[in-house]
A and B are shown apart, each in its own frame.
Chain A
């Protein structure tokens, strides 16, 4: 049984109110999801709060999970990320920390995965790596903006502050980045069929 199937079975059991399944799911995915949350909220107190809220949502929504819509780990990661983003907005600490972040030692995007740091996890499907390949077609500014937003919860305003530009410029970068990524991914997917 591969990890996807195991996660799926555990989520299905959660839908049937099997708390042991939730515990197993938590043991397997909790440390990774806690790190996803931590990268965004930058605090262990908050990441643990987010993890708690996220797993309760996973428990409540398990019956609505559809494997044809998303892989189990993608579904769980999305829940945690959105809770983390909500918490970040609620705390209203983010903008105050932007400048601090920029000078924090070791707080560089090199810490995060990029196409030259391939993920060796068995969960990574070939399709997922398309994104990393396509990210390399973007200019550095756009690529970094997308990673700052996705991995660290930066808003357009935060990114604009970091790059000393306007929010509208950031919006344009992200829009053009999305266009280019989508075209690139779809082209590669069609080519592989």
Chain B
């Protein structure tokens, strides 16, 4: 084991000097081998701790955390009921387009362009109120990638697009991503956002001020909406 390899071990146990810690922290961001070593030692050395060994925190500690993590006073709740949107879009059009795409996918893998064949787990075709497809979103679970195919959308320079998921389980609407460039073709989803997709009844595309919705809810400018359809593995691979 080289000095460099043992750095991950010493970083985790905490015996490095301040300078060495800072150096390792910067290196690990761009070095997959170091990151793997770090994860290895964090995992195995955690056995030295005993979870039954506890010390009750002071009451004011939670109060301070709560204050730090609370939304700004001017903000409204982070989710809103879906009832307002349920009657908005021509559901028949959206459902029909999504299932048409599912049929297309079952014949062969979807191609976003000439070179990229995309495996899929979930697909949603987001249409406007006239039934025009504005965005096709395809999500794959292994990589947690979401591929986006856009129709032309006119945006002002101080506006962004935002994709939202409407939950099947609690009918709340939550943000998936803020898009400031329609050239964006892929998004890397976090585990949390992937779970939103798996629970999504539909996806919504809204126009927001630059930086996304300040209220964590869609603006009144809803561009498109479409049901989120899950494909089974057979459909994915045939």
A-side residues, CB < 8 A to B, are: 8, 11-13, 15-19, 22-23, 26, 30-32, 34-36, 38, 40, 44, 47-48, 51-52, 55-56, 59, 62-67, 69-71, 73-74, 77-78, 81, 85, 89, 112-113, 117, 119-121, 123-124, 127-132, 146-147, 149-151, 153-156, 159, 170, 174-175, 178-179, 181-182, 185
**In contact, A69 and B39 (Cβ under 8 angstroms):** yes
Which residue of chain B has the shortest Cβ distance to A3 in the bound complex? B51
Kindly list chain A residues whose C-beta atoms are within 8 Å of the C-beta of B21: 85
Would you give the 0/1 interface string for B30-54, flagging 1 where the beta carbon is closer than 8 Å to chain A?
0000000001101111111111111
Q: Which of B60-68, B102-110, B116-124, B206-214 contacts A (4 or more CB under 8 A)?
A: B60-68
Kindly list chain B residues whose C-beta atoms are within 8 Å of the C-beta of A146: 13
Q: A52-B65, A63-B192, A128-B46 are in contact. List 14 more A-B contacts (CB 8 A).
A: A31-B56, A32-B49, A34-B61, A59-B68, A70-B43, A77-B46, A117-B50, A127-B44, A132-B48, A150-B12, A155-B16, A174-B15, A175-B6, A181-B9
**In contact, A67 and B216 (Cβ under 8 angstroms):** no
**In contact, B191 and A51 (Cβ under 8 angstroms):** no
How far does the alpha carbon of A159 sit from the alpha carbon of B16 in the complex, in Å? 12
How far does the alpha carbon of A181 sit from the alpha carbon of B57 in the complex, in Å? 34
Chain B nearest CB, measured from A51 CB (Å)? 5
Q: Please provide the chain B residues from 138 to 197 with a CB less than 8 Å away from any CB of chain A in the complex.
A: 174, 190-193, 195-196
How far does the alpha carbon of A16 sit from the alpha carbon of B71 in the complex, in Å? 12
In the assembled complex, B18 has its CB within 8 A of some CB on chain A: yes
From B10, B57, B196, name the one whose CB has the most chain A CB atoms within 10 angstroms: B57
Which residue of chain B has the shortest Cβ distance to A22 in the bound complex? B69
In the assembled complex, B74 has its CB within 8 A of some CB on chain A: no
**In contact, B191 and A128 (Cβ under 8 angstroms):** no
Given contacts A34-B56, A63-B190, A120-B52, contact A56 B69 (CB under 8 A): yes
From B42, B60, B66, name the one whose CB has the most chain A CB atoms within 10 angstroms: B42
Chain B nearest CB, measured from A101 CB (Å)? 15
How far does the alpha carbon of A130 sit from the alpha carbon of B48 in the complex, in Å? 11
**In contact, A26 and B65 (Cβ under 8 angstroms):** yes
**In contact, A74 and B6 (Cβ under 8 angstroms):** no
How far does the alpha carbon of A127 sit from the alpha carbon of B58 in the complex, in Å? 34
In the assembled complex, B232 has its CB within 8 A of some CB on chain A: no
Kindly list chain B residues whose C-beta atoms are within 8 Å of the C-beta of A34: 54-57, 61
Which residue of chain A has the shortest Cβ distance to B5 in the bound complex? A178
**In contact, B15 and A70 (Cβ under 8 angstroms):** no
**In contact, A16 and B196 (Cβ under 8 angstroms):** yes
Kindly list chain A residues whose C-beta atoms are within 8 Å of the C-beta of B132: none
Which residue of chain B has the shortest Cβ distance to A77 in the bound complex? B46
In the assembled complex, B3 has its CB within 8 A of some CB on chain A: yes
From B6, B18, B78, name the one whose CB has the most chain A CB atoms within 10 angstroms: B6
How far does the alpha carbon of A100 sit from the alpha carbon of B127 in the complex, in Å? 70
In the assembled complex, B14 has its CB within 8 A of some CB on chain A: yes
Kindly list chain A residues whose C-beta atoms are within 8 Å of the C-beta of B14: 40, 81, 85, 149-150, 153-155
**In contact, A174 and B10 (Cβ under 8 angstroms):** yes
Kindly list chain B residues whose C-beta atoms are within 8 Å of the C-beta of A117: 50
Which residue of chain B has the shortest Cβ distance to A45 in the bound complex? B58
Interface residue from A35, A44, A73, A77 paired with B58 (Cβ < 8 Å): A44
In the assembled complex, B17 has its CB within 8 A of some CB on chain A: yes
How far does the alpha carbon of A78 sit from the alpha carbon of B78 in the complex, in Å? 29
In the assembled complex, B87 has its CB within 8 A of some CB on chain A: no
Kindly list chain B residues whose C-beta atoms are within 8 Å of the C-beta of A36: 49
From B21, B45, B49, B64, name the one whose CB has the most chain A CB atoms within 10 angstroms: B49
